[in-house]
Amino acid sequence: MARAPNYLAWQFEMVRPFVGAHVLEVGSGIGNFTRRLASSASHVTALEPNRYCFDRLTAETRELTNVTRLNLTVEEFHQMPHRTSVDTVVCINVLEHIQDDAAVVREFRSLIAPDGRLVLQIPAMPVAFGEIDRRLGHFRRYTKRSIRRLFSTTGWKSVHLRYFNTVGLLGWLWNTKVLVKTAQSDQQIRIFDRLVVPVLSRVEGVLHPPFGQCLVAVAVPDA
């Protein structure tokens, strides 16, 4: 996805309105979104447990003075005696990689201020789940109903749910169900990013689709 700058920008625009001042980014990877988060927030604490990705993240964001990078899991961060206070937990394309997603979402609830929010971006439509997902380390894809149920059992209340990227979903279905591919195509990604995303993002900015490849889910603590 680092080779798809238009798509990354679109993904970030979908979550940007919900980014607060003090952000905890869980699973920062190589920093594709960290720099963007830092442009909106006063401070970003970026957690990345994988050492290789953490080194890439550090190189990518080294000059950003409002970013703290930690080579930790969210559980290890929770155990820090003087951890940074956060008003927004952001988790982009990470939750689907976690087998016990409920345990992690419950952990998020214990980290955040009472008036804070959780911002997720996750793959959508279980019907599209296939070998590409498995090889990427995905355990599941989500629907609005399934994420509402997850929130309701982990101390959260959903306040915003939106699908996006209809064309990407159709392409994913074609690759996984018809061609039975096991990996994404770099050429497909480049064509999609250059030719489709600039138009599709404008269309879906006006017409909110009833399905899509991705789901943005925002929740607040349930009192």
Question: Rounded to the nearest 5°, which phi and psi values hold at 88?
Answer: -140, 125
The model's pLDDT over 9-67, given as tens digits with 9 standing for 90+, comes to 999 999 999 999 999 999 999 999 999 999 999 999 999 999 999 999 999 999 999 99
Cα–Cα dist 14/35, whole Å: 16
The model's pLDDT over 145-155, given as tens digits with 9 standing for 90+, comes to 999 999 999 99
Q: Are 75 and 107 in contact (CB under 8 A)?
A: yes
Strand ranges in the chain using DSSP code E only, listed in sequence order: 22-26, 43-47, 67-70, 86-92, 112-123, 156-164, 214-221
Rg (CA), the chain: 17
pTM for this prediction: 0.94
The model's pLDDT over 158-217, given as tens digits with 9 standing for 90+, comes to 999 999 999 999 999 999 999 888 888 888 899 999 999 999 999 999 999 999 999 999
Look up the CATH number of domain 5-221: 3.40.50.150
pLDDT on residue 186? 86
Higher pLDDT, 201 or 1: 201
Which of the 8 DSSP states describes residue 193? I
Q: How confident is the model at residue 68 (pLDDT cuts 50, 70, 90)?
A: very high
Model confidence at 1: pLDDT above 70: no
pLDDT on residue 174? 92
Pair of tokens at residue 11: 């993904």
pLDDT on residue 223? 75
Model confidence at 124: pLDDT above 70: yes
Q: How confident is the model at residue 70 (pLDDT cuts 50, 70, 90)?
A: very high
